[in-house]
């Protein structure tokens, strides 16, 4: 498959899932048949055993601890675009000790993770200022998501700004430049590529408990999923959807639905 962590073929790809429980194991306590849930597969196990089936299928088996009740106000497509992205966004902010009153620069603010970092930094962590980078056509989206400063990376270099930030969240693989935009005592975290010291690389390790913690903010509308307007893609267009992701032009998350 594509990406940094390639799996041998044949493989059923996919980490995120949203759907209806159709069968439960004998030890399952929190869910029953008919429950609407969302979550993601065990990523660490997937790295160790790359042939474990993913979620891009009509049915998928998943551990109870990795699930949470689907927010009532979200469609299955909206919910499916959230789990891994929002947990990656949330946990990395916690990892760097981001807190109220601090400023942050988000690299790739219109992407699946970056769009959620902007919202979480504002509404959950109490940021004093949120800046974000994207292309010209997506600057309005950054502002709608809550960015105080929208930076067009095609026209200016964020590291040359006179203002420095308490934290930089690198969602595009530019930690070598990110370290030049952070305050002397600040933190840089990257979720892709090889980090340039003193940046740290982050890999999500949490379970469905984070989703449950964030559900009230999703149901209140404070945090909103961002789905690319070209989707959701039907299962028959899976190749097209994955190819589109590879262009790195998608806005938010690209969702595929396996059932028509």
**Average pLDDT value for residue range 178-196:** 88
Is pLDDT at 86 greater than 70 in this prediction?
yes
What does the pLDDT average to over 62-81?
A: 96
Which pair of structure tokens corresponds to residue 76? 């299955």
**Is this structure's pTM higher than 0.85?**
yes
Tens of pLDDT, residues 98-142: 999 999 999 999 999 999 999 999 999 999 999 999 999 999 999
Q: Looking at the predicted structure, is the pLDDT value of residue 54 above 90? A: no
The answer to whether the CB of 21 falls within 8 A of the CB of 33 is: yes
Phi-psi region of 56 (alpha: psi -120 to 50; beta: other; left: phi over 0): beta
Specify the length of the chain in residues. 260
The residue among 5 and 249 whose pLDDT is bigger is 249
User: 156-172, pLDDT tens digit by residue?
Assistant: 999 999 999 999 999 99
Quick: pLDDT tens for 200-209: 665 666 789 9
Task: Give the pLDDT score at 176.
Answer: 92
How much is the pLDDT for 202?
Answer: 57
* Structural domains present in the chain: 16-84+206-257 (3.90.180.10), 85-201 (3.40.50.720)
Report pLDDT for 2.
54
Q: How far is CA 211 from CA 132, 153, 154, 159, 171, in A?
A: 24, 32, 34, 33, 20
Q: What's the pLDDT band for 51 if we cut at 50, 70, 90?
A: low
pLDDT at residue 71 above 60? yes
């Amino acid at each position: 498959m594509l990406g940094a962590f390639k799996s041998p073929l044949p493989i059923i790809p996919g980490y995120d899932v949203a759907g209806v429980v159709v069968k439960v194991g004998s030890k399952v306590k929190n869910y029953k048949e008919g429950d609407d849930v969302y979550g993601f597969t065990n990523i660490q196990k997937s790295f160790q055993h790359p042939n474990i089936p993913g979620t891009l299928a009509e049915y998928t088996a998943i551990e109870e601890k990795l699930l949470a009740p689907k927010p009532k106000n979200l469609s299955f497509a909206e919910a499916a675009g959230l789990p891994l992205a929002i947990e990656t966004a949330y946990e990395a902010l916690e990892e760097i000790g981001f807190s109220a009153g601090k400023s942050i620069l988000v690299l790739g603010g219109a992407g699946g993770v970056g769009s959620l970092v902007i919202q979480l930094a504002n509404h959950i962590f109490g940021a004093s200022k949120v800046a974000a980078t994207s292309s010209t056509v997506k600057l309005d989206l950054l502002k709608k998501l809550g960015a105080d400063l929208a930076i067009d990376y095609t026209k200016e270099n964020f590291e040359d700004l006179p203002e420095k930030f308490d934290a930089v969240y690198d969602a595009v693989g530019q930690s070598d430049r990110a370290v030049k935009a952070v305050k002397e005592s600040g933190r840089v975290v990257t979720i892709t590529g090889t980090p340039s010291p003193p940046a740290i690389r982050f890999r999500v390790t949490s379970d469905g408990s984070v989703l449950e913690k964030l559900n009230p903010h999703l149901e209140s509308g404070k945090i909103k999923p961002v789905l690319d307007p070209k989707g959701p893609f039907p299962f028959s267009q899976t190749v097209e959807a994955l190819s589109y992701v590879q262009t790195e032009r998608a806005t938010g998350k690209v969702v595929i639905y396996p059932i028509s």
